[in-house]
Structure 1
Amino acid sequence: MNIRSLTRGDGVVIGAAVLLFIASFLDFYSVDCSGEFCNDSSVPSTWESELFPVLPSIYLAGLIAAGLIVAARFQPAGRKLAGLGLEQWGMALSAFAAWTALWTILGGPDVDSVGPGIGQILGLLAALALAAGAVLSTRIPALQAPLLGTPGQPAPSPYGAGPNPGYGYPGQQGGPSPYGAQQGQPGGQQPQPYGGQQQVQQPGPAAGPAGDFAPFWFAVPVARPLYAEDGSPRPIAELAPGTWYLAVEQRGPALVAQTQDGRRGVLQDTSGIQRG
């Protein structure tokens, strides 16, 4: 699970879900006790049985929606539940919770002494923010940016290796080596052919003819998003500096990369990458 897969839109969803959870324990109605209606009776929260089905229709539906949206970031692209992706289910539930909360506050009890409580008002605002974050995060570029920001660029070193080579570094002991590379050969160099001279792989641009492409290890200079292979605009992961990834395919100027957990996606920005 890589929390760098979360976006700013996911942060809005998570914040709204926390606010919705807190609102569920607050007073759902406000009562004017100056008249004869109130007789020191307690005002119920949504967890009281007399307010059913407010709890599952608004608050629990919103919390489940947020859980599905966040869980979708850590699932392989294309995974579906009953024909819909987890994110689509989350968007639908968040819209349902906001719609129900709106009509609940507009159609409250027809009693002059009773009005919306802090729990009902805060729940409506949280449900609206949750639905907006779920829907607009796929359409507004600012909400698609990484939630944790971009870490600083590491200092350059020979062959693009940092002081602590990460996953898949071609020359690290005990780690995976690319396609025939032997242990102890720095940079994942291929075995020396029968009497031939050893060929040292030099760093170079990723672009090249598709027919001549061979898988290679690379690192990014700054954090960059990895998009699904089906062309979805939402990132499925984020490549971090100081970590080595395997490029398995080239699509024009873009690369199809594989992450530590086996997920594959398209790296659209290949400028400045360091090859191992």
Structure 2
Amino acid sequence: MKMSEDLRLTPTLEEEYMLSETQITEFQKNGHLYLKGVASKQAVDVYRPRIEQAVKERNQQTKALSERDTYGKAFIQISNIWATHANVAHFVLARRFAKLAADLMGVDGVRIYHDQALFKEPSGGHTPWHQDQVYWPLDTRNTITLWMPLVDIPKEVGTMTFASASHTKGFISKLEISDESHKNLKEYIEYHQLPQVNYGEMSAGDATFHYGWTLHSAPGNPTKQVREVMTIIYFADGARVIEPDSNARKNDLKSWLPELAPGDLAKSRLNPLVYTRA
């Protein structure tokens, strides 16, 4: 785990973010929610360069945008930064964020699945419609992703679009992120007349949360600014590993739930308990 800055100067992110009952109800009904100021400007100013440096060090993408497939054009994706860079771990494992995840889902505790830096490059492509949980070999519906921009995002760049209440449908399709998933799931949304919500411009440190089964997509980046986003995925403590039914889930089991087998409690060395009411 790389350590370069004095961690004593790192914001702890321990202070609670207070939610209203209305916000919790809205999230559980629609499957997504936008919250302002989840991380302070001070915290973003500290962690953004650390995350940027980690992305720079670990990025292995060498193809030009024009040579990549749809998934590759969507963003540069670097995962589990917390496990390799101690100066980012305080951010990913923050109690402030984890309690929000637990409160929104109405569970007693949450563990980390993994984090992801998602940097959409200038002229980067759209992110096709998909469900995150088709990748995750977990036996619970209580999974959630925090999606936080590290830079201000103007309307021209755009943020994620969610299909409201799509999480109530559970598993819809095994399709991974692709042109096919975009076409088929777009048709599904239109057929079922699911409302689509885009929260528009967001400030650095704001965040959206969405369930693992919530359908979502994002537009391309027509600007010259990189859309820098950090995400953290949580699942309810007590979840178990299920038998992987796809190559995507087999890969995830190996990568993010190492040394575990179907039926095991999902609590490997990479899945720390980051919040519990106990």
TM-score category (smaller protein): under 0.3
**Bigger strand share:** 2
Q: Using CA pairs under 8 Å that are at least 6 residues apart, name the structure with larger relative contact order, 1 or 2.
A: 2
TM-score (norm 1): 0.19
Q: Which has the larger radius of gyration?
A: 1
TM-score (norm 2): 0.19
